[in-house]
Amino acid sequence: MAERPPAEGDRNAASAGDNRPALSLHVPEPKYRPGDAVDFSHIQVPEAGAQARPDETVDPKDMLDLAHDLIRVLGDDNKAHGPWDPKLDPETLRTMLGHMAMTRAFDERMFRGQRQGKTSFYMKCTGEEATSVSASMALAADDMIFPSYRQQGILIQRGYPMIEMINQIYSNRGDKLKGRQLPIMYSSREHSFFSISGNLATQTPQAVGWAMASAIKGDSRIAATWVGEGSTAEGDFHSACLFATVYNAPVILNVVNNQWAISSFSGFAGAERSTFAARGVGYGIASLRVDGNDPLACYAAEQWAANRARANAGPTLIEFFSYRAEGHSTSDDPSGYRSAQEREEWPLGDPVMRLKNHLIAIGEWDEERQEKMDLEAAEYVKKVTKEAEANGILGHGLHHPFRTMFEDVFEELPWHLQEQSEQAIREREAKFPEGLPNGGKGA
């Protein structure tokens, strides 16, 4: 049989193989894996106070350097430096420290509760408290928050009742969301805190749309949204950036770069090529890269962006350069994919310690008062947790009536759902003829 002559595509492939260098695919790799020694010397940490602070109405093209630099206020001497110093009074700083201490105590208690089987899931924000507490303190109380799932500090800072947060985590009969949300996905209209979504980056176009509506109505409120650096790879994030810049939306896009997604490092979201703040540059958005473990820098950057939005000067993208000190969630074990030394070697330190040391350095705090604050926060969280546990914990039957799973979607329940509801209630009554165990509610 005669040999088949090579097809055109075959000739092109052969020609390329003969005359051109072979291509290779780049797959990002983290610098350190479990067991490796950690050296963060490649991270450039500029001197605190060295970054210029432009006017809030500056043209974005005149501030490109701030998308690649790192805005810092607190120096190694624990003093505030430079034009980004927000010059907060000591009482405000103590309040900020108290909110961060409370957030950390809350995290510890809820993490322990998950390990004890009281809830199915929890996510800590250890090491990232400044990106939520400090930043949100620079906003007005009624500015709309579109959070990700690690901004519990904002609710604590805004005074949302902690028992409501714990009820939601436990999905018990006190849960105002009726057990319909994954634990930690809070929502509070009264505190201008939009519902958390488990779908990554959906909150960004929602925030931009809300901000556009506020501008259309001539309102004075702005919107702020938070996402992780991995979420900037989602299409929703880029759609949000486009709409924000086209319509000059009064919105702040906060990107918390904590170096890691669930088990993949930030390189998979593009960190090897540029900063995440630089993502705003191509859209014509004012962009800032900030030391996310510096509470004063976080406050100052958010305040700058809020002033810019209220002046109708447009949106701002802020990258908070931080580090996730704990696992992604209680379902994650970071020892399986990163070195255990990373947390200790992280060059930007811990935000709570840095704020505490700053207050001590200016003569407005001491170690004794810090210990008292930490103890009082832990005792308060313990007390509220006990109150919430009286409403039930995971798997005990103390939840909302079974029929509520069919409610709040349709104004009038369709016939097929009505049949399913009645069938489910009959089956439950047959299973528990004497009522639900442990005092649970009925159908």
Residue 397 — pLDDT band, cuts 50, 70, 90?
A: confident
Please name the helix (run of DSSP H) or strand (run of DSSP E) that holds residue 301, with its range, or none.
helix 295-310
Distance, CA of 261 to CA of 129 (rounded, Å): 17
Angle at 256 between CA 253 and CA 260, to 5 degrees: 140
- Quick check: 402 pLDDT over 80? no
Average pLDDT, the chain: 94
Give the mean pLDDT of 79-103.
98
pLDDT at 4: 60
- Quick check: 105 pLDDT over 70? yes
Distance, CA of 105 to CA of 155 (rounded, Å): 14
pLDDT at 59: 98
Residue 436 — pLDDT band, cuts 50, 70, 90?
A: low
pLDDT at 348: 98
Tokens 């409610």 belong to: 407
- Name the residue among 156, 100, 92 with its Cα closest to residue 303: 92
DSSP 8-state secondary structure symbol assigned to residue 4:
P
pLDDT at 236: 98
Residue 125 — pLDDT band, cuts 50, 70, 90?
A: very high
- Quick check: 440 pLDDT over 80? no
pLDDT at 2: 55
pLDDT at 401: 80
- Quick check: 433 pLDDT over 60? yes
The CATH superfamily assigned to 60-389 is Thiamin diphosphate (ThDP)-binding fold, Pyr/PP domains (3.40.50.970)
Asked whether the beta carbons of 339 and 35 are under 8 A apart, the reply is yes
pLDDT at 100: 98
pLDDT at 5: 62
Length of the chain: 443
Residue 405 — pLDDT band, cuts 50, 70, 90?
A: confident
Give the mean pLDDT of 220-234.
97
pLDDT tens for residues 27-79? 999 999 999 999 999 999 999 999 999 999 999 999 999 999 999 999 999 99
- Quick check: 424 pLDDT over 90? no
- Give residue limits of the domains in the chain: 60-389, 402-439
Output the pTM of the full model.
0.92
Residue 360 — pLDDT band, cuts 50, 70, 90?
A: very high
Residue 395 — pLDDT band, cuts 50, 70, 90?
A: confident
- Quick check: 384 pLDDT over 90? yes
Residue 429 — pLDDT band, cuts 50, 70, 90?
A: confident
Phi-psi region of 406 (alpha: psi -120 to 50; beta: other; left: phi over 0): alpha
Q: State what percent of residues in the chain have pLDDT above 90.
A: 86
Task: List the single range of 155-159, 283-287, 334-338, 403-407 with lowest mean pLDDT.
Answer: 403-407
Distance, CA of 202 to CA of 219 (rounded, Å): 24
- Quick check: 443 pLDDT over 70? no
Asked whether the beta carbons of 350 and 306 are under 8 A apart, the reply is no
Residue 16 — pLDDT band, cuts 50, 70, 90?
A: low
- Quick check: 10 pLDDT over 80? no
pLDDT at 434: 77
Alpha carbon of residue 102 to chain centroid? 17
pLDDT at 12: 55
pLDDT at 439: 53
- Name the residue among 264, 244, 262 with its Cα closest to residue 253: 244
Residue 6 — pLDDT band, cuts 50, 70, 90?
A: low
- Quick check: 442 pLDDT over 70? no
Q: Which pair of structure tokens corresponds to residue 182? A: 């994954």
Angle at 155 between CA 149 and CA 161, to 5 degrees: 125
pLDDT tens for residues 144-195? 999 999 999 999 999 999 999 999 999 999 999 999 999 999 999 999 999 9
Sequence-ordered list of residues with C-beta below 8 angstroms from that of 357, at least 6 positions apart, any chain = 78
